[in-house]
Amino acid sequence: MSPTWTISVTKSLCTTQTIAVDWMQIILSSFKDKEYRKRREWFLKISNDYKHGTPIPRMDYTTAETKTCLLKFLRCTIYRDLKILHNKFACKEFLDNFKLLEEQCGYSEKQIPQLEDISKYLQTKTGFTLRPCGGYLTPRNFLTSLAFRVFCCTQYIRHHTDPHYTPEPDLCHELLGHMAMFLNPTYAQLSQEIGIASLNCSEKDCNALIRLYFFTFEFGLLVEGEKFDEKKRNLKAYGAGLLSCFDELKFSVSSNAKICRFEPDNVIEIEPEVTKFQKCYFYSMTINEAFHKIKSYISTIKRPYSFHYDPLTQSIKKLTNDLH
């Protein structure tokens, strides 16, 4: 195997923060609150100006935001109420790691943790770091970041009129949904492998990969026990989209939700729902089972070259097969 090119994380992530503009405009236009829209635009500028490798800007929330209860909702209602649901519906891996975030990163009802502090801690545990972004990224750009062990995070907070549900990622989703699972080495490793698999792949393969990610890392469920019981719904969540949303977390484990066994060939044919609950949720017996199936699917993506990530230089080398 011989390298044909090498690209560093700094070079890649200086050019990969492409926001899904059409989606962003739809979301912002739905808010009549001009001050909120103005603040969202400010958060977008902060992320656009950010240079990878520099400290993540610390957010000072405004007096206006405090008066409209944004901080109150995040610190008290969202944090406290989600923790209650987590204890009932979250998987063990999530619960164990969430305690570490409380001990090491300032997670509590009294303060809003800063991405820079969490990023430093994650790096010591699984090698992942965080990068601010202004909203939904395109699938290819989101996956490219994962290839370099970088997870893109929003810093804005959902609108105060509906703290229990948001159709887009926000700070609550990132902190209360994703971060605990990124302390899991297997979870972190597969996140990167999905990202690497997306490099220079076809649009069809990229769409398949993002759907596999979506229905596992965002909306995946695990069975508690030896087998799935349709009546008892013995399910636990590990997907961040569920773990950060009161209403959908409760719905996903209820008798009203359609539940299917996770099989990649079936999942890639399903269109994800972004503005409403999923039509179907997928369960696995264990996280390792789900991840093994994803890795098996990745191995079927054919290409004349492979990629190698060097953690020391944070760069990826594209390799070609040499016949001797």
Strands (E), 92-250: 129-132, 150-153, 221-223, 235-237
From residue 220, give the alpha-carbon distance in Å to each of 69, 118, 125, 196: 31, 23, 23, 21
The residue annotated as part of the active site, out of 65, 168, 218, 248, is: 218
Instruction: Report the SS3 class of residue 6.
Output: strand
**The two structure tokens encoding residue 254:** 């209820």
178 in a labelled binding site: yes
From residue 246, give the alpha-carbon distance in Å to each of 49, 111, 181, 260: 33, 20, 18, 21
Containing 320, the helix (H) or strand (E) segment is: strand 315-320
The residue annotated as part of the active site, out of 47, 119, 244, 252, is: 244
Decide if 178 is catalytic.
yes
- Please check whether residue 132 is in contact with residue 115, taking contact to mean a CB–CB distance below 8 angstroms: yes
Among residues 213, 193, 208, which one has the least CA distance to residue 316?
A: 193
103 in a labelled binding site: no
The residue annotated as part of the active site, out of 52, 86, 159, 173, is: 173
CA angle 241, 247, 252 (to 5 degrees): 65
173 in a labelled binding site: yes
The residue annotated as part of the active site, out of 93, 119, 178, 284, is: 178
Decide if 324 is catalytic.
no
Decide if 218 is catalytic.
yes
Binding residues for Fe cation: 173, 178, 218
Residues annotated as catalytic are: 173, 178, 218, 244
Q: Which residues are annotated as a binding site?
A: 173, 178, 218
